[in-house]
Structure 1
Amino acid sequence: MKLLIADDHAIVRSGLSMLIGSHADLEVVGTAADGREAVEKALALRPDLVLMDLSMPPGENGLSATSRLKEAAPEIEVLVLTMHDDEEYLFRVLQAGASGFILKSAPDQDLIAAIRQVAGGSAYLHPSATKSLIQEFLQRVQKGEDADRYSVLTDREQEILTLIAKGYANKEIAEQLVVSVKTVETHKAKIMEKLQMKTRPELVRYAMKKGLLDFE
């Protein structure tokens, strides 16, 4: 598994590189000092996973970088490494498109396990984060709110969902958004996974219910 490490502290990047590199199945292919550099290097090196710090002053922060990276290359997984054990950060991280959230205070073995899990296509949340998500879900149920999955789609995924529902083929969507067909296919797979759907007609029906088919 190939990794890119993004952190504004050189000593942290060095320490993480040594820790991760000591495992035979993990390889650090690059490092970055802020979000802008992280996105540039990730798009050039195409790692399986970016280990992203949240706060990297004075450069671009990890949240912004994660959102931009997931739009440009949704197949690259992001694991956020942060010192902030706060619900606000957790939900913002997930909205940005990250697949994992782990604290810098976590033991080394937990970090390695999280890296393997996220790079393998699964999600990883620090135990305290999992508790926060459960509490939020229970609050929504108690309030009788509709836990609509549409809100978990990124802006680009919402855009592609609308185009799919309007009948555009993957190639046409790729040309319209100036991205590759593979990127569109990856976004489509993510959309179906998040909405728990398996066919295009299901997406169309869902889009109609959401009022996304305004052809004006």
Structure 2
Amino acid sequence: MVIKTIVADDQAIVRTGFINLLATQDDIEVVGEAEDGVQAVRVAAEQRPDLALLDIRMPHKNGIEAAREITRASGGATKALMLTTFGLDEYVYDALAAGASGFLLKDTTFPELLHAVRVVAEGNALLAPELTKRLIAQFVKQRSAPAPVRTVEELTGREVEVLLHIAQGLSNAEISARLTITDHTVKTHINRLFTKMGLRDRAQAVILAYELGLVVPQGRRPTPPART
């Protein structure tokens, strides 16, 4: 499978750099580029890519707005992978809520970039560990939106364990090994978890884990899993 990708960044040298790096891979094809969010939305509509690599801070329409429009217009077929810096931390939660499936820091290495493109294109979530641990906990805690109506009591003990491991960034195979269950069983728990809680992908699962208090900033104890 060839991953059709578009790259959007208002800095030409950065955009060209990413395009040239991705073009070295046989399984990745860059089918379009954009210098702002408006162009990104238009190019995505024309090319129908599997993945859109978007800088958060762009003129005319920022990466968050572009991600929301691109993922919505494609029905989720186009995944959004965001590029950010620590100076733009406050946008991480909103971008996830807008439909972004992954986050990378702008100083990411080439192998990390390729891994992220492939993981996100497959429909999984990928968050740079620094962002997952430091930012999501901070901004979910501070967010002023009403508390979610979903509760941990809706989940079985095993589903809570799976949710916790997803929030820690573990893959299905790693969860399988950690819980000593088959990969098929892990997928079954994840499907049931997503259905019960109305989740689209692992990025939303990470947010949910923080919103439910299962994962909290250091210094506080998480809510213990419910017993079945």
| TM-score, scaled relative to structure 1 | 0.63
Alignment of 1:35-114 (within 5 A): 35-57=37-59, 59-73=60-74, 74-84=76-86, 86-114=88-116
CA distance in 1 between counterparts of 2:132 and 2:57 reads: 22
Partners of 2:88 and 2:136 lie apart in 1 by: 14
Matched residues in 2 for 1:118 and 1:149: separation?
A: 26
Deviation track 1:119-177 (CA, whole Å, cap 9, x = no partner) reads: 1110000011110367459969xxxx965459xxxxxxxxxxxxxxxxxxxxxxxxxxx
Aligned length in residues: 152
The 2-side partners of 1:55 and 1:111 are apart by 19
Give, in whole Å, the separation in 1 of the partners of 2:27 and 2:128.
22
Q: CA deviation at 1:13?
A: 1.5
Query: Which residue of 125, 128, 131 corresponds with 1:129?
Result: 131
Matching residue within 187, 195, 198 for 2:198: 195
> Residues 43, 125 of structure 1: CA spacing in aligned structure 2 closer, same or farther, 3 A cutoff?
same
Cα 1:86–1:8 change in 2 (3 A) is closer
After TM superposition, the structure 1 = structure 2 runs for residues 124-163 of structure 1, keeping only pairs within 5 Å, are: 124-132=126-134, 135-136=137-138, 147-148=148-149
Where does 1:28-39 land on structure 2 (aligned, <5 Å)?
28-39=30-41
Percent identity over the alignment is 41
Three-state SS of the structure 2 residue aligned to 1:3 is strand
Q: Is the 8 A contact 1:2 1:28 kept in 2?
A: yes
User: Structure 1 residues 100-109 or 128-137, which shifts more?
Assistant: 128-137
Gap change, CA 1:194 and 1:94, over 3 Å in 2: farther
Q: Is the 8 A contact 1:149 1:195 kept in 2?
A: no
Secondary structure of the structure 2 residue equivalent to 1:99: strand
Q: Which amino acid aligns with 2:103?
A: F
CA 1:135–1:84 in structure 2 vs 1: closer, same or farther (change >3 Å)?
closer
* Unaligned residue ranges in structure 1 (runs of 5+): 151-190, 198-216
> 2:5: which partner in 1?
3
Q: Distance in 2 between matches of 1:138 and 1:68?
A: 23
Separation in 1, partners of 2:84, 2:141: 26
Structure 2 letter corresponding to 1:63: I
Deviates more, 1:129-138 or 1:91-100: 129-138
Cross-structure match for 2:118: 116
